[in-house]
Amino acid sequence: MPKIVLASALARWLPASADRDAGFLVDGLTLHDALDAAFKRCPPLRGYVVDEHGALRHHVAVFINGNALRDKSDLHATTVAADTEIYLLQALSGG
């Protein structure tokens, strides 16, 4: 099962019973499926990661096994294996 690890700014949306540092396992063969499973587990997380059309928000960075996701346009095309680690971070901006 792929593992989703959240940066602390996103981990606050996990249930209090969750191990926020270790991440959590989800079902899914694609990035879309894995994220959808995470959102079912923690519905408030959805609005911080994807927009109303299901596209990744501009301020969200995704790393798969340590590699930055370059093409955020098709989450269905990005496959994940059982041992995949997916890191979700909110990018910082401002001045």
pLDDT for res 26: 94
Which fold would CATH assign to domain 3-90? Ubiquitin-like (UB roll) (3.10.20)
* Alpha helices for 2-65 (secondary structure H): 8-11, 31-41, 46-49
On whether the CB atoms of residues 35 and 50 are closer than 8 A, the answer is yes
**Per-residue pLDDT tens over the stretch 17-71:** 555 566 889 999 999 999 999 999 888 889 999 999 999 998 999 999 999 999 8
Tokens 């911080």 belong to 48
Structural domain boundaries in the chain = 3-90
Residue 17: predicted pLDDT: 59
Could you tell me the pTM of the whole model? 0.86
